[in-house]
Structure 1
Amino acid sequence: MPSQMELVMETIMIMFHKFAGDKGYLTKGDLRVLMEKEFPGFLENQDPLAVDKIMNDLDQCQDGKVGFQSCFLLMVGLSITCNDYFIIHMKQKGKK
């Protein structure tokens, strides 16, 4: 039986390939759909050009393609941001 971490890794890989399809990379359109479906709460509070900015950051070759490694870095970055928020929220909750 897989561990929780193995299931998380599998989910990340499945999600990437679901949106990348057979081509094996995400276009800006694919990235937008992924963000809208998988991170709707994040996009609610962002600049309308947030996906464009994210695409520019991830597409280091400037070829309009985001591979698994870059997409994974996005997910890690979002996880770090969420963890930072969680820690701040928990500290504030403890002060009440």
Structure 2
Amino acid sequence: MASDHTRSAILAAAERLYADRGFGDVTLRDIVAEAGVNLAAVNYHFGSKDELIAELFVTRSFATNRERLRELKAAEEQGGGRAPIEVILHALVGPTLR
């Protein structure tokens, strides 16, 4: 498995497992089994479970913020430079809830 693919597989597996079971109930062994990689790969790419969680948070935050900005820009364009407060709130809160 290529290095980038391994890293992505670990992040995807961790996200799925944490969403299903929560941070406290998921071990690194659960994550590597789900990702189909060995335990050393987590240490190599992230250093620790805490660093993996931090990277997952940062990665997801960037994706959420990109979606917010996309929705805000679309609302602004549809409103000719202005958007109703309801649409703005939906753009800010919606990506987090999805």
Measured against the shorter chain, the TM-score band is: 0.3 to 0.5
The normalised TM-score by structure 1 is 0.41
Structure exhibiting the larger radius of gyration computed from Cα positions: 2
Q: Structure 2 length as normaliser, TM-score?
A: 0.40
Higher relative contact order (CA 8 A, sep 6+): 1
